[in-house]
Amino acid sequence: MNAVPRIRVSLLATPQSLMSTLSGLLEMLEICRHLMEEELFPFSVEVVARKPQLQVGLMGIPFAAHRTLREARDPDVVIVSSLMFEGDSWTPGRFPEEVRWLSAMYDRGTILCSTCSGALLLAEAGLLNGQETTSHWNLQRAFRELFPEVVLRLDRELVISKDERLIMSGAATAWYELALYLIARFGGPATARSLAKFMMVQWHAEGQTPYLPFDEPMGHGDRAVLESQHWLRDHWRDPNPVEGMIARSLLSPRNFARRFRKATGHAPLAYVQKLRIERAKQMIESTPHAIDEISAEVGYEDASFFRRIFKRTVGLKPADYRRRFSLQRSVAVA
């Protein structure tokens, strides 16, 4: 049997790369090799870095790259590994050589991928302008401030550009979704399914939506809207909180709605609903209260309406969310 042409996959490592992502991708592809006939395995996998030796991750684990960036001029696929740094803000310019290399690889026709926060380097290279992407949900503010031309889709676990040359996976362990996609694309869906079963992993059909906290935009500079947001933090349970915000703002309802949407990106009522659902998520995670009780506690007397809003916002029914995220060992039946 003739061997298939190998797809050269280069994993880009930096001192801030997560060791778990690097090793996870390497091992998952190696396990795929063992599950297939050697002649049919479609990949040749390597780690590339600025220097041959580097210390990786929070613990500074010594790591040896297979090739340096100057030597690696022929990859078919590049995967930018997850980056770990403090907080939710990113400082551009940390890895200029890596960014230039990514841009050069894209120009030569290479498929570029990222896992989690690795998308920051693709964005820094200007490759995501006007493109949809996904990353870690904690970075939504960083993308909004630093890369406003990037269309961030944090509700999705995997984003693939129309020409299939840019592929980004979401937060943390979503790297295995990227690995399964690449295996299905180049090795066939049956191989990807076999590997998923062997590794006991599955695709997240609901994406990252259940994991996303509501990020309240406060840096917009509209004083009237900001004051209404602060007031709402103590009054989101009120029967008519939107009317309360309008009354305090001294603006007409139409003008207030226009300014509120411009400042926060949300209509006033949608903003209230997101605050309420965020509180409901916290209660579902941490208390044994029945879903109907939680519905009333967060301002919805109609529990069926609350369930519809929750499913539309979170991507899961309240009971399903509880089964996945509850901190209680025993919970009331919803």
pLDDT tens string 116-134:
999 999 999 999 999 999 9
- Cα R_g (the chain), whole angstroms: 23
Provide the number of structural domains found in the chain: 2
> Cα–Cα distances in Å, from 301 out to 184, 242, 291, 296?
47, 17, 11, 5
Strand partners, 52: none
pLDDT-derived band at 64 (thresholds 50, 70, 90) equals: very high
CB 90 within 8 A of CB 141: no
Domain presence at residue 185: yes
Give the pLDDT of residue 325.
76
Domain presence at residue 217: no
Q: Report residue 263 as tokens.
A: 């400042």
- What's this model's pTM, rounded to 2 decimal places? 0.68
pLDDT tens, 238-257? Answer: 989 999 999 999 999 999 99
Let me know whether 27 and 162 are in one domain. yes
Domain presence at residue 186: yes
Q: What is the largest CA-CA distance in the chain?
A: 78
CB 4 within 8 A of CB 76: no
The domain spanning residue 29 has which CATH number? 3.40.50.880
Let me know whether 204 and 74 are in one domain. yes
| Nearest residue to 151 via CA among 125, 172, 123, 170 | 123
Q: How far apart are CA 159 and CA 134, in angstroms?
A: 6
| Nearest residue to 274 via CA among 301, 298, 305, 294 | 298
Domain C-terminal end among 172, 189, 211: 211
Query: How many of the other CB atoms lie within 10 Å of CB of 41?
Result: 23
Q: How far apart are CA 197 and CA 184, in angstroms?
A: 14
Let me know whether 291 and 312 are in one domain. yes
Domain presence at residue 20: yes
Domain C-terminal end among 180, 211, 242: 211
Q: How far apart are CA 24 and CA 56, in angstroms?
A: 14
Domain presence at residue 142: yes
For residue 321, how many C-alpha atoms fall within 13 Å in the half-sphere facing its CB? 28
CB 316 within 8 A of CB 275: no
Task: Map residue 215 onto helix, strand or coil.
Answer: coil
**4 exposure class (CB count in 10 Å sphere: 0-12, 13-18, 19+):** middle
Let me know whether 227 and 207 are in one domain. no
Give the pLDDT of residue 294.
96
Give the pLDDT of residue 54.
92
Domain containing 269 equals: 223-325
Q: How far apart are CA 99 and CA 278, in angstroms?
A: 37
pLDDT-derived band at 332 (thresholds 50, 70, 90) equals: very low
Is it the case that residue 333 has pLDDT exceeding 60?
Answer: no
- Alpha-helical segments (H) within 108-222: 119-124, 140-146, 175-187, 189-199
Let me know whether 190 and 241 are in one domain. no
Task: Map residue 266 onto helix, strand or coil.
Answer: coil
The domain spanning residue 254 has which CATH number? 1.10.10.60
Q: Tokens 């613990």 label which residue?
A: 59
Over residues 288-297, the mean pLDDT reads 94
Strand partners, 55: 62
Let me know whether 49 and 156 are in one domain. yes
Domain C-terminal end among 211, 234, 268: 211
Domain presence at residue 236: yes
Q: Report residue 329 as tokens.
A: 């060992």
Let me know whether 172 and 227 are in one domain. no
Domain presence at residue 332: no
| Buried-exposed string 201-219: b where 16+ CB fall within 10 A, e elsewhere | eeebebbbbbbbeebebee
Give the pLDDT of residue 85.
83
Let me know whether 171 and 252 are in one domain. no
Let me know whether 197 and 281 are in one domain. no
Let me know whether 45 and 192 are in one domain. yes
Domain presence at residue 112: yes
Let me know whether 207 and 235 are in one domain. no
Strand partners, 320: none
Let me know whether 278 and 245 are in one domain. yes
